[in-house]
A and B are shown apart, each in its own frame.
Chain A
């Protein structure tokens, strides 16, 4: 009896590992593909007789060299970082006070307003990009990074307000009230007491505003046409392709180098991101 039980347990483990490994292999395969393509020689890449899944020739840095020296890749990365930083600053300036106020606003209205703001995050860029392009043109921002700096907070603010609201709610009111009894003004209580203990929450809002910015595609594609002003998400897929010629090695290198840091950052804070999405469906 005990033997049958443990055999079953082992079978269960094997099944578990087999399933998880199969999923992981399928989901991560494109990144493995990018990794080997980055270091393959052209001769290896374009020989149809080769096994494409392994190295058949010596490794090379030529693709990376081409990417860094002959393309605008570094410019795109730099553009993305500038936009990201500015968007994060605007988002924090507006979302921090709003998130705090909503957390302290008791009663039904606070909750409803919070959900209302969150729902605007769901209004997709593909619904708004046409009127947005008109607005951007009227403001004289077309084909500049400023267009993105102005427009991106329209989705980072709602998400971060929601996230920060949840975070501030978890901080007991008594802490700041105690400080105010001791003669602190509310503003000072917020800056000196609430902000320091909220650093983790604020940091996750920063990471999300930044990664949402890097991942955005539609607006960046719509507003910006000159290659020198593009962000990395649009620059790489549109510029490393010349007509029918794909610079596959460099293209894969660019995808990999950009994706991995973003993925690692995002992964660190993912649980908080997900708890933002469960909207009260979990207690």
Chain B
């Protein structure tokens, strides 16, 4: 009974993965059907290319910064949502919108909101006298601002997801633990640091791992917002693989680039399995 599902997944995950390794070692182009074997040539030329190195660095910055922000903000928001208050389900719906709506469409909304001419974000900043009339930031025109924009949109998108996962962890902490500490005179911060955070560690790890995968391998936000520009300032591995392999027609080169996503997946999978095993033992 399990077999059909496993076969389907093997055929469409396992086989393409092997093909991807094979393509990366070949000189396959989109237009031709011949595969000459070139060994590690594609990997070598990728490693030597400045664009690739830039993209690898961008991917790391994008992932680390967005995940750090997501975890911190997610913890704050989850702490708020773990309390009971009037209108909670309405707030929850609003907060979840970025995660549950199709990502490419949400990102299109941002593309306009950060437009150089019609940006309501700039309009508000100007109204608050943070920027002047003639010094509106060009969000997608300058390197650092473009990176900040794609990170911000990614945080916007992933924050609801992490919040709900952390919230599930918070609600699983028995109320008595916190109450007992409060009776013993522990204040909010000392309870947070000595009780809540240690108990939340496994679930924070899980939220972080999923977040890392989603951020490290995402190309939707970057493709829709900046296409990797300006001057490769926001190019990441997955978008570079798309531009090289699909639009540029260099299948082998693209496959070699996307294989660099794999080590991160392996590490995440190992940590995940360990968490699951620990849960099995206890």
Chain A residues close to B by CB (< 8 Å): 13, 16-17, 19-21, 23-24, 26-31, 33-34, 37, 45-46, 48, 51-53, 93-95, 97-98, 100-102, 105, 108, 111, 113, 115, 117, 119-120, 122-135, 150-151, 153-154, 157-158, 161, 211, 214-215, 217-218, 221-222, 232-234, 236-237, 246, 248, 251-252, 254-255, 258-260, 262-263, 266-267, 270, 274-275, 277-283
Question: With A52-B118, A134-B19, A277-B206 known to touch, is A97 a contact of B2 (CB < 8 Å)?
Answer: yes
Question: B202 contacts the other chain (Cβ, under 8 Å)?
Answer: yes
Task: List the A side residues contacting B98 at CB < 8 Å.
Answer: 27-28, 30
Question: B223 contacts the other chain (Cβ, under 8 Å)?
Answer: yes
Contact B13 A24 (CB under 8 A): no
Given contacts A115-B272, A278-B206, 11 further A-B contacts (CB under 8 A): A30-B156, A94-B8, A120-B13, A131-B23, A214-B102, A215-B102, A237-B108, A259-B102, A270-B164, A279-B275, A281-B206
Q: Nearest chain-A residue to B237 (Cβ)?
A: A126
Task: List the B side residues contacting A221 at CB < 8 Å.
Answer: 223, 242
Chain B residues close to A by CB (< 8 Å): 1-2, 4-6, 8-9, 12-13, 15-17, 19-20, 23, 28, 30, 73, 76-77, 80-81, 83, 85, 91, 93-98, 100-110, 112-113, 117-118, 120, 123-124, 156, 159-160, 164-165, 168-169, 172, 202-203, 205-206, 210, 213, 217-220, 223-224, 237-238, 241-242, 245-246, 251, 254-255, 258-259, 261-262, 265, 268-269, 272-273, 275-276, 279-280
- Shortest C-beta distance, B11 to chain A (Å), equals 8
- Shortest C-beta distance, B257 to chain A (Å), equals 9
The answer for the CA separation of A130 and B22 in the assembled complex, in Å, is 11
Interface of A, helix, strand, loop or mixed by DSSP? helix
Task: List the A side residues contacting B16 at CB < 8 Å.
Answer: 128, 131-132, 135
The answer for the CA separation of A19 and B2 in the assembled complex, in Å, is 47
Contact A31 B1 (CB under 8 A): no
Contact B109 A13 (CB under 8 A): no
The answer for the CA separation of A52 and B272 in the assembled complex, in Å, is 46
Contact A20 B8 (CB under 8 A): no
Contact A251 B108 (CB under 8 A): yes
* 3 closest cross-chain pairs (CB), A and B: A280-B279, A259-B101, A126-B238
* Of the residues B17, B104, B160, B272, contact of A131 by C-beta under 8 Å: B17
- Shortest C-beta distance, B170 to chain A (Å), equals 10
Contact B165 A278 (CB under 8 A): yes
Contact B112 A248 (CB under 8 A): yes
Question: With A97-B5, A217-B220, A267-B93 known to touch, is A16 a contact of B104 (CB < 8 Å)?
Answer: no
- Shortest C-beta distance, A187 to chain B (Å), equals 11
Q: List 6 A-B contacts (CB under 8 A).
A: A48-B118, A218-B220, A236-B104, A258-B102, A262-B101, A279-B275
Question: With A124-B261, A153-B8, A254-B105 known to touch, is A20 a contact of B91 (CB < 8 Å)?
Answer: yes
* Of the residues A115, A117, A122, A151, contact of B6 by C-beta under 8 Å: A117
- Shortest C-beta distance, B99 to chain A (Å), equals 8
